[in-house]
Amino acid sequence: MPPVASSTVHTPEVASVLKTSKPAGKDQDAAAPFNPFYSYYAPTDDTGDDQTYQYAKYKANMTPRTQMPYFPEVDWQPLGPINVQDRGLFADPEKRSLLSAATKVKHLTPALGVELHGIDLRYLTDAQKDELALLAAERTVVVFRNQPITIEEQLDLGRHYGTLHKHATTPVPREPGLEEVHVVYADSARKPDPTAFSKIELWHSDVTYEQQPPSLTSLKVITSPACGGDTLWSSGYALYSSLSPDMQAYLDKQYAVHSAVLQAQGSRAAGTHVRRKEIETIHPVVRVHPVTGWKSVFVNPGFTRRILNAPKAESDSILSFLFHQIAENPDFQVRISWESNDIVLWDNRVCTHSATFDFYPERRHALRVTPHGERPISVAEYEQDGKKAKDRQVEIWKLQGIEVPTPVVPVAGGVIKQKVYND
């Protein structure tokens, strides 16, 4: 079968997928339990501090005039093709300008995550911004502590990487002119109800139902709880590298449906306006990063509904396996504990993430800026002009001079001695 381009679909098959793949417990109505992923509605504001809270203008749950959540009732046209030039392609491969400006560079786990000290994001040169894109493409998650960057400056930084996404259902700040800002806010007004969701379902890559999902995303926590409210990221590169060659070869050829339907339903059930009609989009299950050329598993529990052209039982089993690896395998993960004014940038194309909701009744308030990336590139599409998509871990081993393990070829009657890992 020829390669399938990522595309928006409204076929009977996809409609059937969406009807049959709705997770249990997601029926949304006015009295439904509060699921913070599919519905952002907060019906009351019992903090009583709108006149004193430093960042009240960036809140989105209440307005004094209406006493209703601030979700602008505007209608946006469907998104068309967006021209993208990945800034990582213009970067010095050694990233000398960026890394030489840091007083400390700390890798957080072997799979992903790096923390840079001594850099003020307000003063990055264009060359350093490009190198930051390359660093994120390689290390996935980049952490900067105690950054005074304002939301306007954060938006300017995001625009260096591409056209900014405007979310169809989530709240935006009350401050005018910030429709490209995604607000993440929780306080004592409403406690997430664990009867409404499982923790696995909260793992996601941002808005993967879009035809061109985000690339180098930034989130700044402007108010953090004293403890808790951490974010975890899981590497799609590392997940791919962990699979058997046969599973890799199978997934390389597959495509899946990503859906905005449940998120839109949750918004409508909460009484808020959906600003852009929800879509379902087909993307490759394994995408290739345009800068690194590395393969990454590109599915997530939040938005991926079904593998196309596979029996439902097969699709459900494979997606369940991948979702559990994302959420449960610590070798693929990094966990970041926030303090106020920390900012994290991550390459949304090659990871999934999830927040913890362990901080109630304290406040957690963050602002996200989200540039569009390219339409996801399949292995077949990437390789059609002679390039070779690669396994990140294999490439790292080669650079380290480590011999790449050869798969064991089974022989009838053979006996394999197992090596046991002890800790």
User: Which of 125, 372, 362, 171 is CA-nearest to residue 267?
Assistant: 171
Confidence band of 49 (pLDDT split at 50, 70, 90): low
Neighbours of 46 (CB within 10 A): 11
For strand 280-284 and strand 7-9, is the pairing parallel, antiparallel, or unpaired?
A: antiparallel
With pLDDT > 90 as the criterion, what percentage of the chain qualifies? 65
Active-site annotation holder among 204, 258, 283, 364? 204
pLDDT in tens, 192-204: 788 878 899 999 9
Active-site annotation holder among 368, 372, 375, 392? 368
pTM of the complete model: 0.88
Q: Is 29 a catalytic residue?
A: no
Active-site annotation holder among 45, 206, 252, 347? 206
* Domain residue spans of the chain: 85-400
Instruction: Name, in order, each residue with C-beta under 8 angstroms of 237's C-beta and a sequence gap of 6 or more.
Output: 111, 112, 140, 294, 295, 296, 350, 392, 393
The continuous run of DSSP H or E covering 345 comes out as strand 343-347
Active-site annotation holder among 353, 365, 375, 392? 353
Q: Is 368 a catalytic residue?
A: yes
pLDDT in tens, 329-359: 999 999 999 999 999 999 999 999 999 989 9
Q: Is 206 a catalytic residue?
A: yes
Residue 181: strand pairing partners: 369
Mean pLDDT value across residues 399-416: 80
CA distance 211 to 283: 8
Q: Is 160 a catalytic residue?
A: no
CATH code matching the domain that covers 85-400, chosen among 3.60.130.10, 3.40.50.300, 3.40.120.10, 2.40.30.10: 3.60.130.10
Please tell me the predicted confidence (pLDDT) of residue 25: 34
